[in-house]
Amino acid sequence: MNSADQQYLSIIKDILDHGYYDQNRTGIATYKLPHKMMQFDLSKDFPILTSKFVAFKTAVKELLWIYRDQSNSVVKLQDENVHIWDQWMKEDGTIGTSYGWVVKKYNQVDQLIHTLKTNPQDRRMVMSLWQIPHLDGGSLYPCAFMTMWDVTDGRLNCMLVQRSGDMPLGVPFNMTQYAVLVHLVSQVTGLQPGLFTHVINNAHIYENQIEGIREQLSRGEAPEAPKLWINPRIKDFYNFTVDDIKLVDYKHLGKIKMEVAI
């Protein structure tokens, strides 16, 4: 079994077997465990689940919306046939002072790339979406909210910290998106992709997702991981498009429908 499914399904089993059951702000109870972690060597494997279908292109579009476009416009996503933020759209068509808005407000991408190129041993390379003065102005407090970056022996390493992780729906997107982000930043800074470590503070499964998760666990051996292709001609981060980022030979065991909690 590939590394992504092996680590992910191990956490899923742990939550089902040992998770703490309680209510939360959504009104749909969860089984949850604290402080779960996955780690991938991006020079060897690309972390996307194959035990079920993950909408890679949609995930990449959302990633580019946050870090390339630095946008908060849900309408912009809808124009690209992405509807994952529809339930949180404000009257003005945005998600307010959250995600891409915060990236742009503090010029975080440019600062990271500049530091990686000029001072790669800096130990303060952090991008944070958790900016306290702006939290309540957003539709939703950011879930995957912080990345910390390191360069060791020419390899770019990244740790993603996620305060809250919807394991069936959100986490498969997030692990894939941020692995792509490491590859993109590596390419434009002349580094090689290294370790990607994903830390989830509250890893949970909603009560109404249990049936779907049990179906996923009951499936046979998950196919091997696909390869990631990135257009090697792109050297400016802001020039990447969704067509420059593709999976090669993505085989999976099919879709599983599960509900999102609002």
Catalytic residues: 143
**CB count in 10 Å sphere of residue 73:** 18
DSSP 154: T
Tokens of 179: 């692995």
Separation CA 236–CA 117 (nearest Å): 13
Closest CA to 250 of 220, 231, 227: 227
- DSSP letters, 20-66, are EEE--TTSS-EEEEEEEEEEEETTT-----SSS---HHHHHHHHHHH
CA-to-CA separations, 182 to 47, 142, 160, 212, in angstroms, rounded: 12, 19, 10, 30
What is the sign of the dihedral through the CA atoms of 178, 180, 184 and 190?
positive
